[in-house]
């Protein structure tokens, strides 16, 4: 186990997080899978194991520090170390104008998208430092855009990017990267298409619908491959940066390492 990389992935029950975990499994990594849905986590764990990885399922809400602490403790008990964390868990709701947003929903968005990464990093910081580890914070292009009706998501991702910069300065022995996955075909996009027309300007809702209709949404496995590579190999000079998954400095070595597909997946 000493030479096996150990990575914690949040939001690992589906979509991008599950795909990241599977690429890591293909690399033979030990992967702690965190999400709120244990049944879906177990499915991801089965895929990781089939691909050659070593899964550990830990049902948790990243908005709760104690749950993150418990997941870290379980990881150390099972694998003895932590080499990287991928903070992928995220929600977009509430989709609402600021003046009509439910305060509890708005707060919970920040708790998942911003405080969640803090919670896991805080809980794992000592173990990560021992390994000169990597922290990959999954952000969004929304961090740099003023998008009507998704104010909490935009604010949380902008804050996450700056949090990553501060973290890189405070913890120079770690490599902390914020990454933009692009427009990915996940449940979040489905939710936007379903709920967006009720709150978004009509042209904005049409834009998200047309992304799907025109086949312009990226399969989750493609940006996930880049994120998995970053978790294993992101160089120190990337620390503090906000990068795109399709950046050649990431996507090219990721493709060379992992190949095109999950062999033996499903």
Distances (CA, A) of 156 to 7, 160, 186: 24, 6, 19
Of the candidates 65, 108, 153, 233, the residue annotated as catalytic is 153
CB 110 within 8 A of CB 160: no
- Among residues 17, 7, 35, the alpha carbon closest in space to that of 223 is found at 17
Specify whether 153 is catalytic.
yes
CA angle, residues 198, 203, 209, in degrees to nearest 5: 75
- Distance from chain centroid for Cα 57: 16
Instruction: Give phi and psi for 152, each to the nearest 5.
Output: -65, -45
**Residues identified as active-site:** 153
């Amino acid at each position: 186990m000493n030479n096996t990389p150990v990575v914690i992935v949040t939001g690992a029950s589906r979509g991008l997080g599950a795909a990241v975990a599977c690429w890591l499994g293909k690399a033979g990594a030990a992967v702690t899978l965190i999400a709120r849905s244990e049944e879906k986590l177990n499915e991801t764990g089965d895929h990781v194991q089939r691909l050659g990885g070593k899964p550990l399922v830990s049902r948790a809400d990243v908005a709760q520090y104690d749950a993150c602490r418990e997941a870290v403790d379980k990881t150390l008990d099972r694998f003895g170390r932590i080499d990287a964390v991928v903070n992928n868990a995220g929600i977009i709701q509430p989709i609402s104008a600021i003046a009509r947003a439910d305060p509890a929903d708005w707060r919970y968005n920040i708790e998942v998208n911003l405080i969640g990464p803090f919670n896991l990093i805080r809980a794992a910081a000592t173990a990560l430092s021992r390994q000169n580890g990597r922290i990959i914070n999954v952000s969004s292009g929304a961090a740099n855009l003023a998008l009507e009706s998704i104010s909490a998501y935009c604010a949380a991702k902008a804050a996450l990017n700056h949090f990553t910069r501060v973290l890189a300065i405070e913890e120079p022995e770690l490599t902390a990267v914020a990454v933009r996955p692009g427009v990915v075909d996940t449940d979040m996009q489905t939710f936007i298409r379903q709920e967006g027309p009720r709150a978004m300007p009509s042209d904005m809702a049409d834009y998200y619908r047309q992304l799907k209709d025109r086949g312009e949404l990226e399969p989750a496995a493609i940006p996930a491959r880049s994120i998995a590579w970053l978790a294993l190999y992101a160089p120190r000079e990337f620390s503090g940066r906000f990068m795109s998954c399709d950046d050649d400095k990431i996507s090219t070595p990721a493709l060379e390492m992992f190949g095109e597909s999950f062999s033996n997946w499903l």
